[in-house]
Amino acid sequence: MKITWKNIKESAYRLMFLEPREYESYDEAVIEAANYALVILAEEFPLKAVYDIVQTAVDEEGMNEYDLRQLSMQGDEETFLGFVDDAPILALCEGTGWQEAHEAQILLDRYVFLPKTAEGLYRVVYKKAPQRIDGNTAEEHALELSAAANNLMPLLMAYRVFKDDDMAKAAQYYNEFRDMLWAIKRAPTLRDDIAVMAEAGYERI
């Protein structure tokens, strides 16, 4: 079971002890806080995506340039956050499948260069930005985050909403977020348990 935008909003509202009649007045702040949390959590729990490049060899010196930020855009929205740390560029090799493309070069964590003499199918693996939330986002929209990250999102949202108006509350939410993040990253069993509970629709609040 995926965690939806409705699930996350309701969890954040309960964390902030809001009554249903107050929800509307917090709509803009909650949406902004959700996008803030999505960015932070995407850095902690990267989403992976791929972009395939088919290249035909030419008998010519030099390199072909591919701008992954532009190539991976979805409409007007950028999805590219950077290359993954391990084996970001793969080549499909006959008989052995996908292998790291050592002939490829990366510049400025954005551009891929391949020799013009190289031919075949190349796969770029990158960190993908989650889809932004706005006023038109459907209640049943499934968030693009790992299961463990879903449980952290309401805490970050509550922190963001209160950080300018009530620092004591904001600090409480942020400290709880930080402690849970620390536990998830350092205890694989806890991380797996949280992931299983989140996939099952468990809500910590």
pLDDT tens track for 87-126: 999 999 988 999 999 999 999 999 999 999 999 999 999 9
Stated pTM of the model: 0.75
Q: What pLDDT is stored for residue 188 in this prediction?
A: 56
Q: What pLDDT is stored for residue 200 in this prediction?
A: 37
| β strands within 109-197, DSSP E | 111-115, 120-128
Question: Confidence band (pLDDT; 50, 70, 90) for 43?
Answer: confident
Q: What pLDDT is stored for residue 97 in this prediction?
A: 94
Q: What pLDDT is stored for residue 203 in this prediction?
A: 42
% of the chain surpassing 90 pLDDT:
63
Count, residues in the chain: 205
Of residues 150 and 64, more confidence is placed in 64
Q: What ranges do the domains of the chain cover?
A: 5-45+145-199, 47-128
Q: In this structure, how many other beta carbons lie within 10 angstroms of the beta carbon of residue 7?
A: 21
Angle between helix axes 27-44 and 5-15 (nearest 10 degrees) is 110
Half-sphere exposure of 50 (CA within 13 A, CB side): 10
Question: Confidence band (pLDDT; 50, 70, 90) for 33?
Answer: very high
